[in-house]
Amino acid sequence: MPPKKVKFKQKVRPKSKASKPAQQKFQNIKAIEVLRKVGWGIDELSEKIIRNLEKQKSVSEDAIARRLKMRVNDVRKPLYALAEKGVATYEKKRDPKKKWWYLYFWSLNRERILGLVRETKMKELEKLRKQLDDERKYEFECKACQKKYLHEEALEADYLCPECGATLETARTTITIKKLEIEIKRLETELESPQ
């Protein structure tokens, strides 16, 4: 029956292998920023190489060298350094022109980078939770001199400020505590959502 319909269907572009949301999510993550945040020294050359790898699924060493106007040998070292850290991976294929020769195709290890993002966020969350605990442990305060005291300290001083003698009051939730709570909630939500 209607051949038109078939034709129309054929025009629909095939879906890419990676699901779109996952790919978009990755593109929002700047590999360089992640690597710097986890404290990895990324030099200028490695940065240029990563930017090249970000653009494509896989790039040959020769293409990277050509784009950077460098010799293949000079881009290999930083590429292997990235591979050692698990950030980049390579695949070797026989050169169709020179059969005894291999061509190396490089890709960013997206899983590893997403894992690093997660690790960074978990560390940050741990740090913030500790800060919040520290902030909350001062249960009493003196409004006159703005000093804060631990529960035991307040008890020992009969709930009178050791500095000025004013009555100690329950410490208010400070802006710092509120900010920490918001930030912790944000990180928790991010970590709960699937990557």
H-type alpha helices, the chain? 3-11, 20-28, 31-37, 44-55, 61-67, 72-84, 110-136, 151-156, 175-192
**Is 163 among the residues that bind Zn ion (CB under 5 A)?**
yes
**Residue matched to tokens 């912790």:** 184
**Is 161 among the residues that bind Zn ion (CB under 5 A)?**
yes
Distance CA 194, CA 175 (A): 31
Segment interacting with Zn ion (CB under 5 A) among 57-65, 105-113, 166-174, 180-188: 166-174
**Is 171 among the residues that bind Zn ion (CB under 5 A)?**
no
- Closest separation in Å from C-beta 154 to Zn ion: 11
- Closest separation in Å from C-beta 161 to Zn ion: 3
- Residues in contact with Zn ion, counted by CB under 5 A, come to a total of 7
- Closest separation in Å from C-beta 44 to Zn ion: 55
**Is 164 among the residues that bind Zn ion (CB under 5 A)?**
yes
Burial class (CB in 10 A: 0-12, 13-18, 19+), 47: middle
Report the residue number, 157 or 166, with the smaller CB distance to Zn ion: 166
Distance CA 92, CA 111 (A): 20
- Closest separation in Å from C-beta 142 to Zn ion: 3
**Is 111 among the residues that bind Zn ion (CB under 5 A)?**
no
| Cβ neighbours of residue 79 closer than 8 Å, sequence gap 6 or more | 49, 61, 64, 88, 90, 104, 106
**Is 160 among the residues that bind Zn ion (CB under 5 A)?**
no
Amino acid at 188: E
Report 132-151 residues binding Zn ion (CB under 5 A): 142, 144-145
**Is 22 among the residues that bind Zn ion (CB under 5 A)?**
no
Amino acid at 135: E
CB 109 within 8 A of CB 89: yes
Segment interacting with Zn ion (CB under 5 A) among 11-19, 71-79, 84-92, 154-162: 154-162
Report the residue number, 26 or 149, with the smaller CB distance to Zn ion: 149
Contacts with Zn ion by CB under 5 A lie at 142, 144-145, 161, 163-164, 166
